[in-house]
Every structure is written in C-alpha cells, then in structure tokens.
Amino acid sequence: MTIIEALDIGLAFLVLGVAGWTIAAHEAFTAVIGYVVYGLLLALVWVRLFALDVALTEAAIGSGVTGVLLISAAVRLRASEAEMMHERLGIAPRLVAAALCLVAAAALAAVVLDMPDPGATLAPQARQPLAELGLGNAITAVLIAYRAFDTMLEKVVLVLAVIGVWSLSTDANWGGLAGPTRLERTEGPLAFLAQLLPPLGIIVALHIVWVGANEPGGAFQGGALLSAMALIVLMARLREAPAIGRRWLRVALISGPVVFLAIGLLGFALAGGFLAYPLGFAKPVIVFIEVFMTLSVAATLPMLVIGPPDRRPS
Amino acid sequence: MKSVADIFTIVAVCAGSFFFLAGTVGLLRFPDSLTRLHALTKADNLGLGLVVLGLLPQANGFLGGLKLVAVWLLVQLAGATVAQVIAEALRRRGPPP
C-alpha cells in the first residue's frame, strides 16, 4: 500500500466518522458544525477523485452557504430546542426507520460492489465535441450544452425556493426587509473583514466564472462566492439587504433562467432546436448564459439565507 | 535524487505539520475557549505559513506561487477575524461559572 492510498483510506474513515458524529450529536448547532466539517472533508474526497468542479461546488454550496443557512436555522430554533429534546419516538417507528436505513444501505452497497470494472464511461464522447463548442472543460460542456435543459430547470428551482421562503412572510411585511439591520456605526474585526474582503472576493469570483469554460469553475461556484461576499457585508451590518419588493432585485433573481430560456427558444430559429447553439458561435453564447446565471445565483443564495421579510421598508 | 529545493520543501512542510499537530493537541487539551483559540491561530499562521513556504519551490511558475501566498494571506485574515469574533462573543457571555 502506498502512502497516498493510506491517506485516502484514512480520509474515507474520517468522512464516515464525522458523518456518524453529526447524526449522533444532540444539539442542532453541534450537528450543523459537524455537517460543515463533513462537507469540507467531502470536498477533499472529490479532489482525490480528480473532480475539481464538484469539489469547488461542494465546498462553496454544500459546506459554505448551506452551513450558514443551517447555522441561522439552528440559532432560531434554540429557544424551543430543550422542549424538543424530551420528545422521543416510540420503539416501533424507530425499528421501522432502522430497517429502512439498513435496506437502503445494503442496496447501495450491492450496487457499488456489483459495478463493472472498468466502469462504463461516456467521458470520451463528452470530450469529443469540445473543440466544436470552443470549450476546454468537459464539465461545463455537460452542464450548459449536453444537458442544458436540466441546468436551466435547476435555476428555475432556485427561484421557486426564494418564492417559497418569501411566502412565509406576513401580509404586513410583504415587500419588506429581511436579515440583519444596518448599524450607523460599525467597528471591530468583522466590519474590517467585510470592508476588506469583498473587492478581492468579487475578483476571484469573476475569475472562477471566466475560467469555467476551460478549467474547473463556473457560474455556480462563482455565484456562491459572490453571495458569500454579500453575506459577510450583511452579517457585519454594514448594509441592509434590499427590500424584497425592489424591482432590480427581482430582475436579478430571474435573469439567469430568463436568459437561458430566451436563448433556448432562439435555438429554434438559429440552430434548429430548443437549446441548440449556433455552430461556431457556441462559446460566446455559453459565456453569456453563465454571466446571467452567476448573477441569479449571487442574488438567490443570500435571499435564501436571510429568510422571509420581518419588517416594513423604512 | 533530491534537489536542494525538494529538501527545503520536505523540511518546511514537516515543520508546518508540526505546528498543525501542536495546534490540534492544544485545541483538545487546553482548559478554556480563549486558550484553545490561541492554539488554533498558531496552526493557521505558522503551520499553513510554513507549508506554503515549503510548497513555493514546487509551485507552477510565478503566478502559482502568488496564488499560494494569497491563500495563506486570506486564511490569516479569516482566521484572525474568526478568533476575534469568537473571543468577543465569549467576553459578552461573561466568565464561565
């Protein structure tokens, strides 16, 4: 066994250990921290599998933004948590749950162990038309060209999620403000970080979106970074999130799916099919879509994290 | 066959790992949150600093090295801020009973 193999096995056990610890944790807050650590370790696993695009997404969305979302949820639930701890499931539902988990785990294990070696792969077919599309990253080609329809629907789901969160608002606060309030005077380390980091973060995010065509990166990862910058500014209370009634916010939220859909429909006229890109002109079109998807993701994720509006716009 | 650069890398990364180990031991063994924070920041500053320093000769050109140093500086900035924020929250909560 080489030293790299030993490290990989150690990493796998570490992931399993942290997953078990997260499930066993009593307090919600502890479990969330476990989940964030689990996500970061999982990102390392993806790096070891040479899936850098997935690793970036896992670290940014799975661990980062979801982590913030879950932490704020855990803090909100803290008041009622002690009460919930007393609630215990009866023995019968527990046994049923355990049996279901065992069956699911056994089925998954059987499928994994039964896979042919070497596994079936579409990688050569995915790489072959890359030059025609003008792309260097096969992942981006899969996401925006081969299965563009799925990616477009994913963006629609994000918008639906925001509508779902907003619909928890009371009638009185509809169109109002959500998230932390702005302070007149801010000081301290967090305010310092929130002033220093965003310019850097924005540059890195744009870089990640731009290189996504040829190297690991893309709209989702870049958009997640942008939304992280927005969240730091909100948490440091330097600025307030825009009221959810603001027109520009809503336009930004839907811009990704709308542009995607419009270009998809244009495909009928220019390239003979829904979401077909004109030959020799695919890359500019793909980058154009990615820019608006980035904007959409960057607007969506902070709105999901800060939750429904809880006060009138002042 | 190892060149001087490779030996430098091995020594510096090992030294960095030592600081990570020491920081982890401190995190597990120190008695209260403030001293645990102290142990943690050492791993961030010196541990990662030495690892980055050791990896510089192996970096992919000047730009690659610059990215490594940028990673170190960003982790420094984030680590220092998080330590301050946690310490501030601890002070607001008051001394442990």
Token duo for residue A98: 């355990």
Domain map of chain B by residue range? Answer: 4-93
Q: Which two tokens stand for residue A249?
A: 């916010």
Q: Are residues A78 and A174 in the same domain?
A: no
Residue pLDDT, tens place only, B51-75: 999 999 888 888 889 999 999 999 9
Q: Is there a domain that residue A116 lies in? A: no
In a domain, A104, yes or no: no
Quote the pLDDT of residue A45: 94
Asked if residue A294 and residue A237 are part of one domain, the reply reads: yes
Regions of chain A short of the pLDDT cut 70: 314
Cβ–Cβ below 8 Å for A193 and B74 = no
Nearest chain A residue to B81 by CA distance is A189
Q: Could you tell me if residue A142 is inside a domain? A: yes
What is the longest distance spanned by two Cα atoms in chain B? 59
Question: Which residue out of A75, A193, A207, A208 would a mutagenesis test of the B interface target, given it has the greatest number of B Cβ atoms within 10 Å?
Answer: A193
For the record, the structure tokens of A190 come out as 């967090």
Looking at residue A160, its pLDDT comes to 95
HSE (side-chain half, CA atoms, 13 Å) at A160: 6
Q: Do A192 and B78 touch (CB under 8 A)?
A: no
Of B77, B78, B88, the CB nearest to A188: B88
Last residue of one domain, picked from the residues A87, A112, A136 = A87
Check if B85 contacts A (Cβ < 8 Å): yes
Task: Give the nearest chain B residue to A187 (CA atoms).
Answer: B85
Cα gap A281→A79, rounded to integer Å: 56
Residue B81 contacts A, CB cutoff 8 Å: yes
Model confidence over B9-55: pLDDT tens digits?
999 999 999 999 999 999 899 888 888 888 888 787 889 999 999 99
Residue A310 lies in a domain: yes
Asked if the Cβ–Cβ distance from B77 to A190 is below 8 Å, we say: no
Chain A partners within 8 Å of B74 (Cβ): 200
Across the interface, of A189, A196, A200, the residue whose CB is closest to B84 is A189
- Eight-class DSSP state of A150: H
Indicate if the pLDDT at residue B97 is higher than 80: no
Q: Which residues of chain A does B78 touch, with a Cβ-Cβ cutoff of 8 Å?
A: 193
State the total domains in chain A.
2
Full residue range of the structural domain in which residue A251 is found: 124-314
Residue B1 in this model has a pLDDT that exceeds 80: no
pLDDT (0 to 100) of residue B37: 87
Tell me, yes or no, whether A306 and A190 share the same domain: yes
- The answer to whether the bond into A116 is cis (omega within 30° of 0) is no
Question: Could you tell me if residue A160 is inside a domain?
Answer: yes
Q: What is the pLDDT of residue B11?
A: 93
Nearest to A15 by CA among A62, A71, A60: A62
In degrees, to the nearest 5, what angle opens at C-alpha A271 toward C-alphas A269 and A275?
A: 90
Q: Supply the pLDDT for residue A78.
A: 84
Does the beta carbon of B14 lie under 8 angstroms from any beta carbon of chain A? no
Higher pLDDT, A294 or B96: A294
Residues A147, A295 share a domain: yes
Instruction: Tell me what pLDDT residue A314 has.
Output: 64
Determine the pLDDT at residue B2. Answer: 67
Residue A22: inside a domain, yes or no?
yes
Q: Which chain A residues have any C-beta within 8 angstroms of a chain B C-beta?
A: 188-190, 192-193, 196-197, 200
Rounded Cα gap, residues B33 and A247, in angstroms: 46
A274-300 per-position pLDDT tens digit: 888 877 777 888 888 899 999 999 999
Residues A276, A225 share a domain? yes
By C-alpha distance, which of B44, B42, B48, B53 is closest to B10?
B53
d(CA A4, CA A10) in angstroms, rounded, equals 10
pTM across the whole model: 0.86
| Cβ-contact B33, B90 below 8 angstroms | yes
